[in-house]
Amino acid sequence: MRKFSSYGPIDTELNYYVPRQSLIDEAVGHLVGDDPARGGHYITVWAPRQRGKSWILQQALWQLRRDPRYAGFDVLKINLEHLKMTPDVVRIAQVIAREIGEKLALPAIEIQQLDDFYTIFKRDVLQKPLILILDEFDALAPQAISGLVSVFRNIYNTRREQSDKTSAEKDYLLHGMALIGVRSVLGLDNPRGSPFNVQRSLQIPNLTADEVAEMYHWYERESGQRIEPAVIERIYSELRGQPGLTSWFGELLTETYNDHKPTITLDDFEIVEATAGSLLPNTNIINLISKANEEPHRDFLIELFQTEEKIAFNYDDPSINYLYMNGVIDEEVVDKRKFYVKFPCPFVQKRLFSHFAREIFQDIGALYPPFTKLADILTPTGLDVKNMLRLYEAYVQKNHTWLFKEAPRRTDMRLYEAVYHFNLYMWLERFLQRTGGRVYPEFPTGNGQIDLLIRHQEQRYGVELKSFRSDFEYAAALDQAARYARHLQLATITVVFFVEAVDDETRAQYETPYHDTVIGVSVEPLLVTTVE
């Protein structure tokens, strides 16, 4: 029976996978060209890490080799990751030329300088037109990338100038080529621009909801074990079809935490989500967190957690480019005209939020003074969220001098909005642990909007976090909270507005409960004052 695999390219004989045939066909079409007799295209195959770029081109390689229509081509795939620490472009060119020669049984060619690299692609050296796939090309040093793609560009242009000849008759027989990597291959890290501006681009998207569902249905058919539809929906909702994470959760659900009941339930999923978020190592997540910790990208990500407004997506921004190509952020397209930065999926956003919260607030001190009475919070009917947050406000007022001393600040030396969210989350986590409850951060949009879902004594409570900006945004936040409460099937929800200071009269005005008669939900607004 097959297994889920989240480590390296999928083995189609051993693992569950999504065929993605349309992407494979598109790659083949680019490499062969619209008219194979005239020549193929030179393409970049790009996406954030762990999207399956290498696997797609591996399948294209095998498809080209199997198809008798393409028997007149040699097709090679060479991995370059082992050369990432080599700055010498001539040495890298020598390795590529040697591998081409060995795989095609060609005479050895000595590369003394970069100009010698052209030789391996000449008509009197190659026996057939060559389709070449270079994997992990973006792992090379920037100067090596620049030098190599300059050669490829010149070869491409020379072939284009010989349009009166067939592909096999041209001076160079590099018929088609794919450079597999991330966005930096296109030259966005190069201040002088991309030297490879002749290429076409093949972007590898995440899996769709239908593709994720089909992979899990495949497991159902083979194993005989049913998976609740809600589980598959949650897998897609939390991971947004990220191939590596989707297969990792499949591995955890069907192997690590599978007790082989007739049905894998939503409760099983929540156990897997909790352990994956706190206990289990995953190379993909470890890599994301390491990238997120680098400056100045760390401050950019902390700013991304703010709720005030979305951040425009622009590949030219160094932080956006770097974080995108490492899978830490993604792009949100609105009406095909507006582009914003978002986190790639709720699971990654939660992991980053939890990481920053714990990193910034390793020590949050005493939650409340000794002998504090909690009867007005832990009531016979349940948890009084409003009184609990009043206790938190008193904690902030008492400890703000040292609590936020080392916390990240913007260039105007004000605390990032997310710092307060991190601190409240850590306070609630510790408070609820002591009293038999738990708190979960939720991010409905992929941007800064944050909701906290509290579970205590078999009851659920919702809390939304905002910074007070204006009356207009205050009213919009109440409406938004009401809709979220209906989604959670809650009769009441609390909205916390962080504000620097407020007088008693204003507090009374803005803490008036709001009842949405259309939705049938009550919203409890609460102002929490901060001191900077």
Give pLDDT tens digits for 89-129.
999 999 999 999 999 999 989 999 999 999 999 999 999 99
The backbone torsions φ and ψ at residue 407, rounded to the nearest 5 degrees and listed phi first, read -70, 150
Mean of the pLDDT values across residues 119-144?
94
List, for residues 72-81, the tens digit of each pLDDT value.
999 999 999 8
Class of domain 21-203 (CATH, top level): alpha beta
Sign for the CA dihedral angle at 457, 460, 465, 470 comes to negative
| pLDDT at site 430 | 96
Can you give the residue ranges of every domain in the chain?
21-203, 209-280, 361-529
**Using an 8 Å Cβ cutoff, are 58 and 216 in contact?**
no
Residue type, 311: I
How many Cα atoms occupy the beta-carbon half-sphere of 236 within 13 Å?
Answer: 15
- pTM of the predicted model, to two decimals? 0.87
Bridge partner list, 461: 454
Round the average pLDDT of the chain to a whole number and report it: 91
- Please state the rounded mean pLDDT for residues 417-431: 95
Q: Quick one: pLDDT at residue 57? A: 95
Model pLDDT for residues 157-197, shown as the tens digit of each residue = 999 999 999 999 999 999 999 999 865 454 434 434 444 54
Q: Could you report the per-residue pLDDT of 194-213, keeping only the tens digit for each?
A: 445 455 778 889 999 999 99
pLDDT at site 448? 64
Q: Using omega within 30 degrees of 0 as the cis cutoff, is the peptide bond preceding 296 cis?
A: yes
Q: What is the mean pLDDT of residues 397-412?
A: 92
3-state secondary structure of 214: helix
